[in-house]
């Protein structure tokens, strides 16, 4: 039981280093947001109501909810309260990932997380699955998350209170964690250290086998076979230690066995078929990420019953393209239709969250969805993608994703509709702790990019 | 009575719904001669072939008057439509499946189709001694990867010898002494033999372990099962005759070497691929009953092709080897669009007959891949995979007009021609739309920066 | 300087007309190419030259007679670009002599590196090809150096004990490649491998710099030309610029590789400005420039027809249809194999385009008379006409059709052996017990 007496001021570490005013966070034990418009996501909109938060948990919500005695009160007139937004697939909170981000051309590109020492020349040569190439299944995002990641503040400023953060280097990168974007300690931030095991099709951190997508698929299969065998061998040994050989401890396989679910990438319908086949062989619950051509995958995803984390960095024309280079109909169509993916997925009944992957300024995640709303996505579905869907996908619907009694008090308070470009985030609550958005124009993404959706070259995935 | 007639007619109509008749064409059956006649296709299969056939009422008629009709072309060795071809980092990569890389969106499938190819064998590359599993598919353009597969066919495995395989085992330029460990074994043809023998030896052991475990289990003993090994599984299938082998090779010495490995392991169902010096060991190949799939006239593009001659196919054929021609296309279907005239080259170089030439791109590759039950000739009961040419397909002046796979028309040159301006218009529209969107967003960019 | 003098002397020397270069082919179907075919006609060759062509020829004295019943006489075919003799095994650099270092090498002559004993010569010849424009520059593939001006292409016969004996025009054209803007890091993949992406602006700058270098080279050559003409004091001879003189004088054509519309547009504008006699090569997507090329009467060397479409949305038959489209627009085309391995398939490069729109007569011309005209030897080569050199093939049919066999071949009236390594190995192994 946490005891918070009076006001606790949390100093966000990186603020000092940047020479900016430190972030002020207030954590009253009991508070109420009164007379606000409340978008619960799970149960519709309360045009005028109150949200009561006690010790970081939503204690009450409703039009008639009473403000308890002794509560700090926020006057919600003219304000809208949303559940805190969730980045469904992120690296926020892992400072090394931020440092590596500008260098990496694609997901998983660039040097290994380990730091500058990991030059490709030093990468080990893999001669087969037994070398466990690019496999760090023992790595946990929960162990890497640091309060100091400066992106946390920016994300919060855009209304994000939670990120499902993954290590991304290598083929079997490690376990993601559901991370609240605020807390006194890094440990406090972790909502669930076992969000799932992140698998990538981009080789890094080794040379040699496997170098091709088909090699990678084969490797995943052998790894899971080996893990299954390892589990069996351990069980048999436990039953009969006298006659069964004691299996060698293998941290790579332990990491695989620990996974509640795996995250598999599929940008296109063709990639999806491959991934579905793989998933059926791995016999593990899975989430498809990196989806770009969602508009063409919706039916198949629905049929497969798999949830999705959608990439919302919509592919754009290369800024510096050869004006005489003819682009293919296929490329043009992908660029034209990609932003219509959320609507297509929603219409097909596919559960999808969205990812900040490839997007520098967190606010641009919301802007990207605004584009999809213009193309027919219902606002409620857009909001769900940013909140409840993510919570459900990662099995945390009881804790996150909507404004319901008993859930974690992750809230965003705005002065208008979330998807209106003019709307400002007035305050954010993470675990019931209030954060004020950073002052005007601090939108310093890793590359110092301004708030516009960046249109970097070659994002066709 | 009238009602009965009507009923009868209706029944006839219903039955004819899935019937197509290709009429009055010069039909090259390949296996049963060439004549002017018609083909009745029912439910995707060839129901009747002959100078005179029964045309059911309501059947779809395709007039092939004056045109040449032949079975769909079968390419025994290509790499088209694969998103990755080689997993060459290790010497034995039999765990990988090129079939998983089949990309149904690849335009090369359409190009091949437009060249009369209806069945294609896309192989793992030749970077290593034992490559991956291959994928046999039909060029059913527009279907997804699963819809392309030739599902009844026996699976196959790629093996490769010679220069391509050795390359990774040979340093480029100067190497510091002692840095050879980064090179991938083997670097010689001797090493290639070693790798293949070793792999099949391990597979045999694995097979034995599996059997021993089964025996233990049958006896009710507690035993740890054998760990599944995805690398060895396909090799065991080869040993058990459940998987065919396509072996990339050039020189006579290495072909002979490989044949002796196969002898020692009792491996049958092999097709030597490229096999440019096959003519030197044609007798030995024929003795094993293996097949050979070669190029018509490639030569001297590398040292191991120095003795390649365009008479290779004809010599092998004359010496009793089952011969086919292949394209080896990779980045696009180039040669696949004209395997018909490649076959004509075997008539030029070595004087095989028209039927023998056509067999090399139809029934022979079908036999090599053991799919001749379904494809490879125009015979009753086979899949209606049929190509219509405007002239004799063995002439340079012919072109494909229509292609049917299982009776369904997948290519029509006239349709292709009329669709071209539509694609252009569609692209223009999309580009215009994009430009307008960009223009709308432009001013904002300026303001914020 | 000395070298050039010698080569001119060789050129001026009379053709070596062998004793046996006198014969009569009779009762054949003669395809002069320059005129309609003649049934039951004869061709009289005297001293290596075509003395007469006609239905009934008066022959004085004793002449060797070749019975041509059922056979056809065509001019020998000309491959308008091949590294034959300079490139033996394309993947082994040691056997390849195309693609010299440096951007500007007009002084290099392909012919001096031609190995008359190349296996490719008899192999290619056996399919009816009697002459080749030997290329000094690499065309794609390995070690593709060769810069902007690769050197002089040499028109040569595929017969001779030495390259001197093979010569037709040792300096028949300059081979050049128009600089291409290469932007991006290739499609997808390569960016991931860490290869730096070249932006379009950057690539364009690089290309413009290369074109600028080309302009400067021509400018320098002109200054050299002027200085030489003026007999300027301290004039120093320079082999590079010496080789440029016939180019500047508009006598020596320049064959420029330019595949796409932009390169073609730039090359055409450049040639006009520099008053260069332009021949385009490797044209693939001329787009709007097609009419322009036709109007300006710029000949085009096509090759290879056996290619896949350049762009994803291009029609499947794009390379097959292009020759017909160009000819319809009024462009004179010739074909080149631009390789050694498949040089023997030159006739099929042309016939492949026939079902896709190239008129047959043009196809035949494109491997005979058109080539001779483009390379400035139509007075001596390219057709079966009185007074021309007797480069002839006698066939059992249309030489553009694969199944046709070449029965006899004459180069300068001399009968040429149609055997090769391929036929020798064929016979040897066919006979293996």
Residues with Cβ within 8 Å of C285's Cβ and at least 6 positions away in sequence, in order, are C259, C260, C261, C310, C311, C314
Residues with Cβ within 8 Å of C261's Cβ and at least 6 positions away in sequence, in order, are A324, C285, C286, C287, C288, C289
Residue B201: pLDDT over 80: yes
**Higher local confidence (pLDDT), B401 or A150:** B401
Q: Which residues of chain A are within 8 Å of residue C262 when distances are taken between CB atoms? A: 324
Tokens at C219, concatenated:
């400018």
Which of B87, B92, B99 best probes binding to A when mutated, by most A CB atoms within 10 angstroms? B87
CA closest to B97 among chain A residues: A214
pLDDT digits (tens, 9 = 90+) for A89-101: 999 999 887 655 4
Say if A11 falls within a structural domain: no
CA dist A283 and A286 (Å) reads 9
Tokens at C8, concatenated:
């001119």
Say if A187 falls within a structural domain: yes
pLDDT given at position A446: 41
Residues with Cβ within 8 Å of C230's Cβ and at least 6 positions away in sequence, in order, are none
CA distance C200 to chain A (A): 6
CA dist A194 and C271 (Å) reads 68
- Cα three-residue angle C3-C7-C13, rounded to 5 degrees: 145
Q: Nearest by CB to B430, which of A127, A215, A332?
A: A332
Radius of gyration of chain B (CA): 26
Residues with Cβ within 8 Å of B106's Cβ and at least 6 positions away in sequence, in order, are B80, B81
pLDDT given at position B171: 73
Tokens at C242, concatenated:
């010496």
DSSP letter string, A105-138: SSTT-SS-TT-TT--GGGSPEE-SGGG-TTB-TT
ipTM over 0.85: yes
List all chains that touch chain A, counting a touch as 3 or more CB pairs closer than 8 Å.
B, C
Looking at the fold, whether C320 and C351 belong to one and the same domain comes out as: yes
Say if C217 falls within a structural domain: no
Shortest CA distance to A108 belongs to which of A198, A216, A195, A207?
A198
Topology alike, domains B10-71+376-449 and B73-374 = no
Q: Nearest by CB to A109, which of C181, C192, C261?
A: C192
CA dist C367 and C129 (Å) reads 9
Question: Do A33 and A51 form a contact (C-beta atoms < 8 A)?
Answer: yes
CA dist B273 and A81 (Å) reads 68
| CATH-assigned architecture of domain B73-374 | Alpha-Beta Barrel (3.20)
Give helix B252-265 / helix B189-218 axis angle, nearest 10°: 10
DSSP, res A67: P
pLDDT given at position B431: 93
Looking at the fold, whether C261 and C318 belong to one and the same domain comes out as: yes
pLDDT given at position A243: 86
Q: Is the dihedral of CA C368, C373, C375, C380 positive or negative?
A: positive
Q: Which residues of chain A are within 8 Å of residue B147 when distances are taken between CB atoms? A: none
CA closest to A332 among chain C residues: C313
pLDDT given at position C304: 85
Given an 8 Å threshold on Cβ–Cβ distance, is B318 in contact with C430?
yes
- Going by pLDDT thresholds of 50, 70 and 90, the confidence category of residue B443 is low
DSSP letter string, C362-373: HHHHHTTHHHHH
Residues with Cβ within 8 Å of A428's Cβ and at least 6 positions away in sequence, in order, are A84, A156, A157, A159, A161, A182, A411, A412, A413, A434, A435, A436, A437
| 3-state SS class at A211 | coil
pLDDT given at position B173: 59
Say if A455 falls within a structural domain: no
Segment-wise mean pLDDT, segments of 10 residues, chain A, 461 residues: 38 38 65 97 96 96 94 96 98 80 34 38 87 97 94 96 96 97 92 97 94 98 98 95 92 97 97 97 96 97 97 90 90 96 98 96 96 96 98 98 98 97 96 87 41 32 31
CA distance C159 to chain B (A): 21
CA dist A114 and A136 (Å) reads 12
pLDDT digits (tens, 9 = 90+) for B410-440: 999 999 999 999 999 999 999 999 989 888 8
Task: Tell me: cis bond preceding A210? Omega within 30 of 0 counts.
Answer: yes
Looking at the fold, whether C302 and C399 belong to one and the same domain comes out as: no
Domain containing residue C423: CATH number: 2.30.40.10
Looking at the fold, whether C418 and C350 belong to one and the same domain comes out as: no
CA dist C258 and C268 (Å) reads 10
Note the residue count of chain B: 449
CA dist C375 and C78 (Å) reads 10
Q: What φ, ψ does residue B436 adopt, rounded to 5°?
A: -65, -40
Domain that holds residue A366: 85-401
Say if C62 falls within a structural domain: yes
Residues with Cβ within 8 Å of A104's Cβ and at least 6 positions away in sequence, in order, are A110
CA dist B84 and A48 (Å) reads 58
Q: What φ, ψ does residue B221 adopt, rounded to 5°?
A: -80, 150
Cβ-in-10-Å burial (0-12, 13-18, 19+) of C238 comes to middle
DSSP, res B14: H
Domain containing residue A244: CATH number: 3.20.20.140
Whole-number average pLDDT of chain B? 93
CA distance A438 to chain B (A): 18
Given an 8 Å threshold on Cβ–Cβ distance, is C308 in contact with B114?
no
Q: Nearest by CB to C201, which of A320, A324, A325?
A: A320
User: Where do the domains of chain B lie?
Assistant: 10-71+376-449, 73-374
CA distance B235 to chain A (A): 15
CA dist C216 and C211 (Å) reads 9
pLDDT given at position A173: 96
pLDDT given at position A444: 45
Question: Do B363 and B71 form a contact (C-beta atoms < 8 A)?
Answer: yes
Question: Do B248 and B160 form a contact (C-beta atoms < 8 A)?
Answer: yes
Q: How far is CA A396 from CA B194, C131, C336, in A?
A: 55, 79, 68
Looking at the fold, whether C252 and C334 belong to one and the same domain comes out as: yes
Given an 8 Å threshold on Cβ–Cβ distance, is A458 in contact with C184?
yes
CA closest to C309 among chain B residues: B332
Looking at the fold, whether C344 and C395 belong to one and the same domain comes out as: no
Q: What is the pLDDT along chain C (433 residues), one digit of tens a residue?
A: 344 433 333 333 334 444 568 999 999 999 999 999 999 999 999 999 999 999 888 777 788 999 999 999 999 999 999 999 999 998 898 999 999 999 999 999 999 999 999 999 999 999 999 999 999 997 654 334 558 999 999 999 999 999 999 999 999 999 999 999 987 654 433 333 444 578 899 999 999 999 999 999 999 999 999 999 999 888 999 999 999 999 999 999 999 999 999 999 999 999 999 999 999 999 999 999 999 999 999 999 998 899 999 999 999 999 999 999 999 999 999 999 999 999 999 999 999 999 999 999 999 999 999 999 999 999 999 999 999 999 999 999 999 999 999 999 999 999 999 999 999 999 999 999 9
Looking at the fold, whether C70 and C135 belong to one and the same domain comes out as: no
Tokens at A191, concatenated:
């909502």
Instruction: Provide the CA C266 distance to its chain's centre, in angstroms.
Output: 23
Given an 8 Å threshold on Cβ–Cβ distance, is B282 in contact with C429?
yes
Question: Do A204 and A233 form a contact (C-beta atoms < 8 A)?
Answer: no
| 3-state SS class at C203 | helix
**Domain count within chain C:** 2
Domain containing residue C260: CATH number: 3.20.20.140
Report yes or no: C194 at the A interface, CB cutoff 8 Å. yes
Question: Do A356 and A365 form a contact (C-beta atoms < 8 A)?
Answer: yes
Which class is B10-71+376-449 in CATH? mainly beta
Cα atoms found within 13 Å of the Cα of residue B350, Cβ hemisphere only: 27
pLDDT digits (tens, 9 = 90+) for B181-190: 678 999 999 9
Say if C210 falls within a structural domain: no
Domain that holds residue C253: 77-182+232-377
CA dist B160 and A12 (Å) reads 61
Q: Nearest by CB to C422, which of B301, B311, B344?
A: B311
Looking at the fold, whether C117 and C62 belong to one and the same domain comes out as: no
Tokens at A234, concatenated:
């351990």
Radius of gyration of chain A (CA): 23
Percent of chain B as helix, strand, coil, to the nearest 5: 40, 20, 40
């Amino acid at each position: 039981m946490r005891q918070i007496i009076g006001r606790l001021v949390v100093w966000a570490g990186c603020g000092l280093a940047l020479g900016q005013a430190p972030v002020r966070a207030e954590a009253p034990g009991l508070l109420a947001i009164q007379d606000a418009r409340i978008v619960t996501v799970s149960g519709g909109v309360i045009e005028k109501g109150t949200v009561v938060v006690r010790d970081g948990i939503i204690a009450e919500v409703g039009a008639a909810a009473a403000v308890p005695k002794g509560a700090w009160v926020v006057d919600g007139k003219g304000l809208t309260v949303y559940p805190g937004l969730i980045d469904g697939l992120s690296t926020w909170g892992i400072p090394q990932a931020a440092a590596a981000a500008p260098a990496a051309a694609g997901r998983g590109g660039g040097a290994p997380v380990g730091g500058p020492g990991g030059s490709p020349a030093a990468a080990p040569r893999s001669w087969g699955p037994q070398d466990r190439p690019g496999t760090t299944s023992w790595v946990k995002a929960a162990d890497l998350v640091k309060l100091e990641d400066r992106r946390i503040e920016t994300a919060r400023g855009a209304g994000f209170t939670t990120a499902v953060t993954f290590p991304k280097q290598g083929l079997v990168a490690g376990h993601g964690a559901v991370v609240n974007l605020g807390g006194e300690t890094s440990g406090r931030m972790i909502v669930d250290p076992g969000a799932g095991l992140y698998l990538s099709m981009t080789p890094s951190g080794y040379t040699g086998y496997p170098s091709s997508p088909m090699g990678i698929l084969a490797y995943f299969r052998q790894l899971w076979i080996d893990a299954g065998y390892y589990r069996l061998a351990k069980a048999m040994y436990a039953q009969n230690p006298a006659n069964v050989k004691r299996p060698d401890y293998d941290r790579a396989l332990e990491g695989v066995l620990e996974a509640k679910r795996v995250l598999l990438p599929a940008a296109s319908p063709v990639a999806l078929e491959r991934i579905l086949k793989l998933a059926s062989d791995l016999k593990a619950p899975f989430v498809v990420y990196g989806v770009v051509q969602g508009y063409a995958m919706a039916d198949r995803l629905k049929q497969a019953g798999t949830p999705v984390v959608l990439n919302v960095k919509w592919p754009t024309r290369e800024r510096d393209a050869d004006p005489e280079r003819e682009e293919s109909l296929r490329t043009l169509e992908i660029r034209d239709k990609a932003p219509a993916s959320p609507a297509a997925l929603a219409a097909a009944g596919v559960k999808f969250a969205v990812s900040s992957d490839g997007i520098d300024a967190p606010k641009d995640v919301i802007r990207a969805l605004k584009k999809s709303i213009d193309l027919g996505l219902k606002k409620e579905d857009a909001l769900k993608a940013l909140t409840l869907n993510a919570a459900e996908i990662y099995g945390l619907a009881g804790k996150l994703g909507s404004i319901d009694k008993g859930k974690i008090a992750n809230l965003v308070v705005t002065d208008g509709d979330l998807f209106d470009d003019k709307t400002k985030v007035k305050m954010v609550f993470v675990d019931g702790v209030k954060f004020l958005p950073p002052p005007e124009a601090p939108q310093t993404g890793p590359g110092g990019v301004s708030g516009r959706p960046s249109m970097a070259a070659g994002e066709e995935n | 009575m009238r009602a009965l007639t009507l009923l009868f007619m209706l029944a006839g109509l219903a039955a004819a719904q899935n019937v197509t008749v290709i009429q009055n064409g010069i039909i090259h059956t390949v296996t049963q001669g060439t004549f002017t006649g018609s083909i009745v296709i029912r439910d995707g299969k060839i129901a009747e072939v002959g100078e005179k056939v029964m045309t059911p009422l309501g059947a779809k008629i395709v007039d092939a008057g004056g045109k040449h009709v032949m079975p769909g072309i079968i390419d025994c060795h290509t790499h088209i439509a694969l998103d990755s071809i080689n997993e060459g980092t290790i010497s034995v990569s039999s765990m990988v499946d090129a079939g998983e890389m089949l990309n149904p969106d690849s335009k090369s499938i359409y190009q091949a189709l437009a060249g009369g190819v209806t069945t294609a064998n896309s192989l793992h590359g030749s970077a290593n001694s034992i490559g991956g599993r291959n994928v046999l598919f039909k060029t059913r353009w527009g279907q997804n990867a699963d819809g392309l597969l030739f599902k009844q066919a026996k699976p196959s495995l790629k093996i490769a010898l010679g220069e391509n395989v050795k390359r990774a085992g040979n340093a480029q330029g100067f190497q510091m002494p002692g840095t050879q460990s980064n090179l991938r074994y083997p670097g010689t043809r001797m090493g290639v033999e070693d790798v293949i023998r070793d792999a099949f030896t391990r597979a045999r052991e694995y097979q034995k372990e599996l059997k021993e475990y089964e025996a233990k289990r049958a006896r009710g003993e507690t035993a740890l099962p054998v760990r599944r090994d995805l690398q060895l599984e396909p090799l065991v299938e080869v040993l058990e005759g459940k998987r065919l082998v396509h072996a990339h090779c050039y020189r006579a010495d290495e072909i002979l070497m490989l044949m002796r490995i196969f002898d020692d392991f009792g491996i049958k169902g092999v097709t030597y691929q490229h096999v440019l010096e096959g003519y030197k060991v044609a007798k030995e190949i024929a003795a094993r009953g293996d097949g050979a799939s070669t190029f018509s006239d490639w030569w001297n593009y590398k040292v191991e092709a120095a003795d390649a001659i365009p008479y290779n196919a004809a010599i092998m054929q004359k010496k009793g080897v089952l011969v086919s021609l292949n394209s080896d296309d990779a980045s696009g279907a180039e040669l696949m669009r004209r395997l018909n005239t490649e076959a004509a080259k075997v008539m030029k170089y070595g004087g095989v007959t028209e039927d023998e030439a056509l067999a090399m791109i139809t029934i022979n590759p079908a036999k090599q891949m053991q799919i001749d039950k379904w494809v490879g000739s125009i015979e009753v009961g086979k899949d209606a995979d049929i190509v219509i040419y405007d002239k004799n397909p063995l002439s340079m002046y012919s072109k494909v007009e229509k292609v049917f796979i299982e009776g369904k028309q997948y290519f029509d040159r006239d349709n292709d021609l009329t669709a071209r301006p539509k694609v252009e218009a569609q692209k223009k529209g999309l580009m215009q739309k994009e430009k307008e969107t960009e223009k709308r967003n432009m001013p904002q960019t300026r303001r914020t920066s | 300087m000395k070298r050039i003098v010698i080569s001119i002397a060789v050129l001026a020397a009379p053709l070596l007309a062998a004793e046996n270069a006198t014969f009569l082919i009779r009762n054949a179907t003669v395809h002069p190419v320059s005129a309609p075919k003649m049934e039951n006609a004869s061709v009289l060759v005297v001293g290596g030259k075509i003395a007469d062509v006609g239905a009934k020829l008066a022959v004085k004295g004793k002449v060797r007679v070749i019975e041509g019943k059922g056979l056809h006489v065509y001019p020998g075919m000309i491959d308008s670009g091949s590294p034959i003799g300079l490139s033996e095994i394309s993947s082994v650099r040691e056997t390849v002599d195309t693609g010299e270092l440096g951007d500007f090498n007009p002084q290099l002559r392909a012919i001096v590196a031609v190995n008359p004993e190349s296996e490719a010569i008899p192999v290619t010849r056996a399919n009816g090809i009697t002459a080749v424009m030997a290329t000094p520059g690499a065309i794609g593939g390995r070690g593709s150096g060769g810069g902007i001006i690769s050197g002089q292409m040499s028109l040569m016969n595929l017969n001779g004990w030495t390259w001197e004996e093979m010569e037709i025009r040792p300096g028949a054209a300059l081979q050049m490649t128009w600089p291409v803007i290469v932007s991006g890091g290739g499609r997808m993949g390569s960016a991931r491998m860490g290869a730096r992406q070249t932006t379009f602006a950057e690539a364009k700058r690089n290309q413009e710099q290369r074109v600028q270098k080309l302009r400067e080279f021509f400018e320098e050559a002109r200054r050299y030309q002027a200085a030489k003409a003026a007999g300027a004091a301290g004039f120093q001879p320079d082999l590079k610029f010496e080789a440029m003189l016939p180019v500047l004088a508009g006598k020596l054509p320049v064959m420029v590789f330019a595949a796409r519309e932009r390169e073609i547009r730039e090359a055409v504008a450049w040639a006009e400005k520099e008053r260069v006699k332009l021949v385009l090569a490797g044209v693939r997507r001329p787009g709007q420039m097609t009419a322009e090329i036709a109007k300006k009467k710029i000949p085009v060397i096509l090759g290879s027809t056996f290619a896949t479409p350049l762009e994803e949305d291009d029609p499947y038959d794009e390379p097959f249809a292009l020759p017909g489209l160009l000819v319809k627009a009024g462009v004179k085309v010739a074909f080149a194999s631009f390789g050694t391995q498949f040089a023997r398939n030159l006739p099929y490069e042309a016939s492949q385009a026939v079902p896709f729109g190239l008129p047959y007569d043009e196809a035949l011309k494109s491997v005979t008379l058109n080539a001779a005209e483009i390379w400035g030897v139509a007075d001596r080569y390219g057709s079966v006409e009185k007074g021309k050199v007797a480069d002839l093939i006698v066939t059992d049919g249309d030489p553009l059709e694969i199944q046709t066999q070449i029965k006899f071949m004459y180069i300068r009236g001399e009968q040429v052996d149609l055997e090769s390594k391929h036929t020798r190995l064929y016979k040897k192994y066919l006979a293996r017990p």
